[in-house]
Structure 1
């Protein structure tokens, strides 16, 4: 380009020629006098192929009209303008840039200079993040899903409305408390603690098991808990727990022996007493003893009532068939 009387233009060109930010200089008629490689790359061209052309020859008619209007506004005001622009590249892809357009006063008349940063990928990433955040918010707050977020020390950071309702407490009461404060033992609380240690150490990414939790009323409830690690820069940052009720609320913990648990499991599968006794190697008198004990423990007078009560209390897993004890849920 002609540099007569254009010290500013020479400095701008020297500075921007190797810059990764797209930069250009145009005259008052919209003709390109200079572009750097980054600007030409936006159009899949070399700089020499752009210089000498007008904006109407390089951009789509709609984009060219916008750019020419901005050039005229900057030339009339003489003041730099910072703005964000969208345009179509040769592949038809919508791109977005942000930067400054300004006047370069040279010997042959004022010129318009511009330097921009291509923020297409950044803008798209922000849109995708916003969509993901909205989906997560919908899952947490609108679906009724019981979700609890915990820090690596087991302290409750965030509770969804579904989780607060499940535990019968307000969110402000639960948030900031320690998860251990709400546990009332479990079918194998030791397995939960070992799995938690593996999650925190990054040795595992998820775990599924069952626990007994205390509710705000002072009763207990069996919950399936699905734990998953949330990582940050590759390292465990927090733990998300999805809670699923496996029982109604109950007072106290039914004391069912391992043999009685097997009796309940076989009974729930529809096996008659003779088959249950044979499978467990029990005499008829021994089986009658365990059935009497189960009627008392479960406060149920009949076989169907005992099975129903076992499911209601979370002793049997309502999500499994053939029937199995809730405590047999395996870690993942």
Structure 2
């Protein structure tokens, strides 16, 4: 690199050529120290900058510009653009230089280029004319937005994945703010509850819960999520559906945080049974009868395990047939699974966690 074009405080023998190309710069024509200081600031400014003559020769580049090429300023200055950049990039850069020199006005634009290691890069900035004693030159100053652009592309990809997950899979997803109001509901969630997004969004989430539900466990879990004591939890809930009745659901809750604070809670809803016109009330003893029956126990085995007489067992079986609207043992078991009273994901048979007991 020609030392005449290397600005810095280590050049005390006269002002750098940069001063010649910046007439009118405050202090540059009257204070040599100020000119050198300005030149040093330009040399080490974080924004990549360069000066080229009309023949495409680099006259000056700063450290940030050289960093784009993983080299030092002295390795670029004095060389033509074709010696520094790939042919396709060099042709674009030379064309831009000619346009600026012809129009004699600054141009703002973005440029895509290839780093020496083959990775793509992108900068945005201005290219402009600089007058010097040797004729007009082209100056440019840019911001490297490679990382920012990559981040935006990655964010767009994540947004598309989330949109596909929420809207194209039919997954029932509800986003709830810290104030307990529904901010967003997927189409699957609206369909699951027999409602619409317009009704769900903006409403208080608790308004969709069964009025007689025990909310103590949910309240504790919600407080833990909002206050940052946990990041996820699961609850079994009974939600009201349009037209009356309710539906037993498992809600898998996850905190969405920013800066350590919970901004919202994401709830994935999974149905545990079919909608029911009214609550099916089963006692703890009747639940035990259902789990034993689902496990294949005969009446004599159930009576023995539960310490019941044959008459007492018959009474509970009769009550279960009435409650479940079932005429036989297989139908009772099938209805218990369909209504979410028994957990279809567990074996041996067991009651669904959180299921209501009458």
Instruction: Provide the TM-score with structure 2 as the length reference.
Output: 0.88
Any conservation in 1 of the 2:66–2:76 contact (CA below 8 Å)? yes
What is the deviation of 1:279? Answer: 2.5
List per-residue Cα deviations over 1:34-74 (Å, max 9, x = no partner).
Answer: 11111111111111111111111111111111101111110
Q: Taking structure 1 as reference, are residues 43 and 186 closer, same or farther at Cα in structure 2, changes over 3 Å only?
A: farther
Aligned counterpart, 1:7: 22
CA RMSD in angstroms, aligned pairs only = 1.8
Q: Which of 240, 251, 255 is the matching residue for 1:229?
A: 255
Which segment drifts farther, 281-290 or 111-120? 281-290
List per-residue Cα deviations over 1:264-308 (Å, max 9, x = no partner).
Answer: 011112222222223323333322221111112112121111111
What is the deviation of 1:199? Answer: 0.7
What are structure 1's unaligned runs of at least 5 residues?
Answer: none
CA distance in 2, matches of 1:328, 1:182: 17
* Residue 69 of structure 2 is aligned to residue 43 of structure 1: yes
CA distance in 1, matches of 2:296, 2:339: 19
Aligned counterpart, 1:178: 204
CA distance in 2, matches of 1:217, 1:328: 24
Q: Which of 55, 74, 89 is the matching residue for 2:81?
A: 55
* Residue 339 of structure 2 is aligned to residue 319 of structure 1: no
What are structure 2's unaligned runs of at least 5 residues?
Answer: 6-16, 29-34
Partner of 2:92, secondary structure, is helix
What is the deviation of 1:7? Answer: 2.9
Partner of 1:158, secondary structure, is strand
- Answer 1 or 2: higher relative contact order, Cα 8 Å, separation at least 6: 1
* Higher Cα Rg, which structure: 2
* Residue 128 of structure 2 is aligned to residue 102 of structure 1: yes
Q: Which of 202, 210, 224 is the matching residue for 2:228?
A: 202
Aligned counterpart, 1:274: 300
CA distance in 2, matches of 1:138, 1:186: 35
Any conservation in 1 of the 2:274–2:338 contact (CA below 8 Å)? yes
Following superposition of structure 1 onto structure 2, how do residues 119-198 of structure 1 map, counting pairs within 5 Å?
Answer: 119-184=145-210, 189-198=215-224
What is the deviation of 1:192? Answer: 1.6
* Residue 323 of structure 2 is aligned to residue 308 of structure 1: no
Aligned counterpart, 2:95: 69
Q: Taking structure 1 as reference, are residues 60 and 100 closer, same or farther at Cα in structure 2, changes over 3 Å only?
A: same
CA distance in 2, matches of 1:225, 1:188: 15
What is the deviation of 1:328? Answer: 5.3
Q: Taking structure 1 as reference, are residues 203 and 28 closer, same or farther at Cα in structure 2, changes over 3 Å only?
A: same
CA distance in 1, matches of 2:179, 2:22: 62
CA distance in 1, matches of 2:122, 2:212: 55
Any conservation in 2 of the 1:185–1:211 contact (CA below 8 Å)? no
Any conservation in 2 of the 1:314–1:326 contact (CA below 8 Å)? yes
List per-residue Cα deviations over 1:11-38 (Å, max 9, x = no partner).
Answer: 7745421211110001011111111111
Partner of 2:44, secondary structure, is coil
CA distance in 2, matches of 1:297, 1:233: 50
* Matched pairs, number: 329
Instruction: Provide the TM-score with structure 1 as the length reference.
Output: 0.94
